[in-house]
Structure 1
């Protein structure tokens, strides 16, 4: 949005180009605290906010803050691969729980509970979810917190897609259901404000955890870019018109790709509830999703990802981004349809 770009220019013109505190400038931490407090109905203080170099730094720093070698992390999957990757990087053990299509890719509380052991330190959830486009139900999040509180483990909730949600639904935040003591909330500016290259996210956590997250960032990236932080204040303060306009367009593209995907022989898909990803089931074609993705790229000229890029539980699926024009969606879907008809039917 233009007002964010103008705020960045203003900060540059004013010479706001030096280092900032590792946890971010106070003004932005305060703005994020106000936003989270209002949207989640929970009182969040600026000292409980860390501004990170993208939400991915938030994932990295949060897991490092909690994990020792051998500790387990329960991860509903298929999901964003950084959770499993960072867990392994710090010597932890990822324990995956399959997200099932018939449940709208919302996890079963019973299956989460059965995956928790005495070695479990965290449960990582992503709602709305990448790659599935699924949204966790309130009941499933409540069931996760029943386990977390009983076992005294933390829920790390990545809610980066919180605004890109369709059909009049409202985002249900883990922080609104759980409690601050057992929650680390991740978010950022990349998706809702299309600020992917600006690299700015946030972590909301109890003060002692937030201090550890800030120390990880201090000793890796130092701090987020100063002028970007001032631009982010403008993003939160608004206007938000461009955000809602973008979400409306994404919903129209979601409707289009839903119809297109389900017209392809051997493909089926439930309608994504959120994000800008379609996650069609292609298991009826009888070919590994990685091989199918390669074939579509090399022979049909369509770039997408196999479900296994998001965990072994993604076998039999493809992830298609519809963060492109409706015209391109139609072209891409036609290429896939023609290819599938020629090769498999």
Structure 2
């Protein structure tokens, strides 16, 4: 058989989904020497020692077996305590599921609630997995573009205008990847009213909740009437620099968690026990180290904003996460052209904003989870690039 004939066996939905635009630029950068990467959203910090030590100790103690499908009871209890501090109560035995990263939690949530043809409203720009994940679950992603002028925030009016009889859920992520936008409690309350009026569900990805620099993060499930309508997703990758540990969790009404657990137990079984035991340590004793990392991110956030202003690159001020989303529309280049030329000519890797959906076409995503030295050098190179193309 030819390669073309073999491809006929592949699911048409999978065939229609493009590869990750983030990974494409990451792979390009990996092939070049001397590149400063502001591309992949990964902390440059190593997981704090006491968390790594908990992993080592667990191995010495022989903890190498499967856990419950739901995850270690001690970990679920610590997650419940953490969420209680965020203003929402969950039963650790029935309403919390430990997953292999937040990515699995998102996949489980979508597959558990979506029927073929159900619409999921997704504010954009958004994380690259949201739309493909919805499609692979049999749903229809419906995007709502936000803009720099409105702070990349979803408004209740825009949400209301997008709802149809087929709408089943709203997928939120604040603080936002890629924009760094945050939403305050009053704005989220208006969204919650629309959700309740139209009997919708909400999947709230709050992986960046600890990385909030302006105001306080509001947990969506803590809003009046939203606890049982919300599947709350979170994890340890960003705040505790534990990306490679692949550990996340979902918290929701017991019916949702039971449905998600069915899929989880047949596909993943359980999250790695060593990662779970380390996460217990992170939740119990990781606050100090985590706060130090967040302080460094905030310092870098200010450095990047100041640097972009100095080189004449307009940038919305991010209030959370560790991304800046500067506007490059005045350069005359598309976001992809800008990113490709910047990489080739100045060896700085950024991600074109259009890979994050409508609203990102004239922007680029720059992660400031890099050293101050690398960020300073990258900004100088970007300034030099802007002068080359005559835009400064």
Indicate whether the TM-score tops 0.5.
yes
Alignment correspondent of 1:322:
368
- Superposition pairs of residues 226-265 of structure 1, within 5 angstroms: 226-265=273-312
Alignment correspondent of 1:305:
351
CA distance in 1, matches of 2:177, 2:256: 26
- Contact in 2 for aligned 1:76/1:99 (Cα 8 Å): yes
Q: 2:338 aligns with which of 262, 272, 292?
A: 292
- Contact in 1 for aligned 2:304/2:375 (Cα 8 Å): yes
Query: For residues 252-310 of structure 1, what are the alpha-carbon distances to aligned partners after superposition, in whole Å with 9 as ceiling and x for unaligned?
Result: 10000001112223x20122111110100111112110111111111110011000111
CA distance in 1, matches of 2:58, 2:165: 49
CA deviation after TM superposition for structure 1 residue 171, in Å: 0.8
TM-score by length of 1: 0.97
CA distance in 1, matches of 2:286, 2:237: 17
Is residue 43 from structure 1 mapped to residue 94 from structure 2 by the alignment?
Answer: no
CA deviation after TM superposition for structure 1 residue 64, in Å: 0.5
CA distance in 2, matches of 1:295, 1:44: 49
CA distance in 1, matches of 2:266, 2:150: 41
- Any idea what SS the aligned residue of 1:34 has? helix
Alignment correspondent of 1:225:
272
Is residue 29 from structure 1 mapped to residue 76 from structure 2 by the alignment?
Answer: yes
- Any idea what SS the aligned residue of 1:230 has? helix
CA distance in 2, matches of 1:119, 1:250: 41
- Any idea what SS the aligned residue of 1:76 has? strand
Alignment correspondent of 2:155:
108
Q: 2:243 aligns with which of 180, 189, 196?
A: 196
CA distance in 1, matches of 2:317, 2:372: 17
Query: For residues 317-339 of structure 1, what are the alpha-carbon distances to aligned partners after superposition, in whole Å with 9 as ceiling and x for unaligned?
Result: 00001111111001011111101
Alignment correspondent of 2:259:
212
What is the aligned residue count? 342
Alignment correspondent of 1:174:
220
- Contact in 2 for aligned 1:105/1:136 (Cα 8 Å): no
Query: For residues 24-71 of structure 1, what are the alpha-carbon distances to aligned partners after superposition, in whole Å with 9 as ceiling and x for unaligned?
Result: 1111111101110122x2221111000000001011100001101110
- Contact in 2 for aligned 1:54/1:202 (Cα 8 Å): yes
CA deviation after TM superposition for structure 1 residue 15, in Å: 1.2
Alignment correspondent of 2:29:
none
CA distance in 2, matches of 1:145, 1:219: 33
Specify which structure has the bigger relative contact order, considering alpha-carbon pairs within 8 angstroms and separated by 6 or more residues: 2
Query: For residues 64-89 of structure 1, what are the alpha-carbon distances to aligned partners after superposition, in whole Å with 9 as ceiling and x for unaligned?
Result: 01101110000000011111111011
Q: Which deviates more, 144-153 or 329-338?
A: 144-153
Alignment correspondent of 1:13:
60
- Contact in 2 for aligned 1:269/1:279 (Cα 8 Å): yes
Consecutive unaligned residues in structure 2, runs of 5 or more:
1-47
CA distance in 2, matches of 1:176, 1:101: 27
CA distance in 1, matches of 2:221, 2:78: 17
